[in-house]
Amino acid sequence: MKAVPSAIVKAFGQLGDRAVIAVLVKSIAVTLVLFAGLGAGLYAAFAAAAERLGQSGGWGGVLALLLLPVAVWLLFRVVAVAVLQFFADEVVAAVEARHYPALAARAQPLPLRREIAVATRGLMRALGYNLLALPVAGMLVFTGIGPTLVFLVVNAVLLGRELTDMAWLRHCDGAERSNPAGRGERFVLGAATAGLMLVPFVNLLAPVVGAAAGTHLVLGRLERRREGQ
């Protein structure tokens, strides 16, 4: 477990790298554009529904403004990580080059088709698990903090897997299910990243920080295995 805080500190320390900054800019831009599109879609749908009911289309804007923050809160983790999947290789490569040059030479970058497949699979898995968690969160809504804890646990499991797989897929030689990062480490990393995603502005950095930290967990373990041979 001690490896996780160290990995997160190293990840924050690399946010100034040009390659990491480039990924941050691209992933944040795409994420914001997607949510802007969601907001526009909500407005159009509610405005049309209001007009069909003989009400002013302005009510559609009011409803969209009320529901968009809820949608962002529910979907941000899913969308941000799905977007990051398309740029994950760049984050992993930056960490490899700076901290694990010997392993970087053996890495196998993912082709675009594979990146799309991995991102799509991760998105569907995240949406599915979060939808399954909704009824449980709904039953705990009276507790105030219950829904937040439910989604935190669910996304801790999902994020821990996704953020370490980003690095592992470049080194797995076909053994995708043999991720060397332990389940406990993955859960703690996922929980920490999910927690960062709840903090305004920091949430924009969290997916990249999580991916870099996940890379440290995986490659650190691989490096120790090599040294032990």
Length of the chain: 229
Q: Which residues contact 41 (CB under 8 A, 6 or more apart)?
A: none
- Give the residue with greater pLDDT, 120 vs 63: 120
Q: 193 vs 12, 27, 88, 94, 100, CA distance in Å?
A: 12, 16, 15, 19, 23
Least confident of 43-57, 130-144, 176-190, 206-220: 43-57
Distance CA 56, CA 53 (A): 9
pLDDT tens for residues 91-140?
999 999 999 998 888 888 878 788 888 888 888 888 888 888 888 888 88
pLDDT of residue 113: 84
Least confident of 49-58, 88-97, 164-173, 189-198: 49-58
pLDDT of residue 57: 59
- Give the residue with greater pLDDT, 1 vs 26: 26
pLDDT band at 59 (very low <50, low <70, confident <90, very high): low
pLDDT band at 218 (very low <50, low <70, confident <90, very high): very high
Distance CA 34, CA 31 (A): 5
pLDDT of residue 133: 87
pLDDT tens for residues 69-93?
877 777 787 888 888 888 888 899 9
pLDDT of residue 55: 67
Distance CA 185, CA 164 (A): 10
Residue 52: pLDDT over 80: no
- Give the residue with greater pLDDT, 123 vs 50: 123
